[in-house]
Amino acid sequence: MSSNFTDKTVLVTGGAGFIGSHLVRLLLSPACGAKVINLDALTYAGNLESLQDVEKHPNYRFVKADISVADEVRKVFEDHSIDWVAHLAAESHVDRSILSASVFVTSNVLGTQNLLDCAREFEVQRFLHVSTDEVYGSLGSEGAFHETTPLAPNSPYSASKASSDLLVRAAFHTHGAPVVTTRCSNNYGPYQFPEKLIPLMISNALQDKALPVYGDGKNVRDWLHVEDHAQALATVLAGGKAGEVYNIGGNCERENLTVVKLLLQALGKSEDLIQFVKDRPGHDRRYAIDAGKIRDELGWEPSWNLERGLAETIRWYQDSQDWVERVKSGAYREYYATQYGDRLA
């Protein structure tokens, strides 16, 4: 993979988010050796403290910009000579989209189109659009999502992601844009914002707080370690075929209740902490991914199994109480001003 990135400047959008921060770290590593421009608006989900270990890397630059504002996006392309784009910036939490959907449309749909427009104008050579398995909707007890499964999104979040997928598809068919789309299952691992299932449950259990399980807890998700996802994204960025979609999955389907019980067991906590709460409206029952295409065409397969991944993730959250506390208190939002203050207008 390494030679593919030599001399490439990659614009990573959403690089201050959970998955983006892992991709930034991987692209800067000697295995890839890319130059990285991290474009992020620093919404509540953007946390530059997750990138402290690479922020002084000579090949790394951070730019605060909002992808839904065309002029801000354009300026980034004017200021930097960008070869490839890895587009991850998005509003990503289903529960938030149920409460208030419009920012999901603005960032995920309009933001994607703004990036596609600039990528065309500035002749970007590759554009990786990072999407989600949720665009396919919900499965019954059998079967898996294939790249050809019809889109049937059920939440405002997944509808906004499906809309952005269609704009990416249109850019390929209309303008011959060098786009490739990935659709991934649920990620977990270090630096995940503690509003998502696994970090929320770890964080609550560590404080002996109740663990809120939606509905009957039998909804199924396919869990993928975030480092495996970053590897898959780099693989598709380097070798994916323009116009194609690649599903990415972890081969780790589990009911939510099973995951929660595994976490409690590993933490030595009682199952009495589990609290069944009102279900998420429109809650998708089951996701499962057939990731045969990326395996057969590009040679990528997940390397983490769930038991090892959860054990390492628990260890990371136990060792990173400061990071968690600064997220919960909101202190992480001051980091940009303290580190990049001299660049503020």
Catalytic positions, written as ranges: 133-134, 157
Footprint on residues 221-280 left by ligand DAU (CB under 6 A): 221, 256, 280
Q: Which is nearer to ligand DAU, 82 or 202 (CB)?
A: 202
Which residue, 60 or 273, is less far from ligand NAD as judged by CB? 60
Taking CB under 6 A as the rule, which mask of x and - marks residues 53-82 in contact with ligand NAD? -------------xxx--------------
Q: Which of 40, 49, 66, 134 is in the footprint of ligand DAU by CB under 6 A? A: 134
Residue whose CB is less far from ligand NAD, 184 or 259: 184
Nearest distance from residue 203's CB to ligand NAD, in Å?
A: 15
Taking CB under 6 A as the binding criterion, the range among 91-99, 122-130, 173-181, 331-339 that sits at the site for ligand DAU is 91-99
* Three-class secondary structure assignment of the chain: CHHHHCCCEEEEECCCCHHHHHHHHHHHCCCCCCEEEEEECCCCCCCHHHHCCCCCCCCEEEEECCCCCHHHHHHHHHHCCCCEEEECCCCCCHHHHHHCCHHHHHHHHHHHHHHHHHHHHCCCCEEEEEEEHHHHCCCCCCCCECCCCCCCCCCHHHHHHHHHHHHHHHHHHHHCCCEEEEEECEEECCCCCCCCHHHHHHHHHHCCCCEEEECCCCCEEEEEEHHHHHHHHHHHHHHCCCCCEEEECCCCEEEHHHHHHHHHHHHCCCHHHEEEECCCCCCCCECCECCHHHHHHHCCCCCCCHHHHHHHHHHHHHHCHHHHHHHHHCHHHHHHHHHHHHHCC
Q: Binding pattern to ligand DAU, positions 158-197, x when CB under 6 A? A: ---------------------------xx---------xx
Applying CB under 6 A, the site for ligand DAU has a residue count of 19
Residue ranges in contact with ligand DAU by CB under 6 A:
92-94, 132-134, 185-186, 196-197, 200, 212-214, 219, 221, 256, 280, 287
The site for ligand NAD (CB under 6 A) is made up of 14, 16-20, 40-43, 45-46, 66-68, 88-92, 107, 111, 130, 132, 161, 184, 186-187, 193
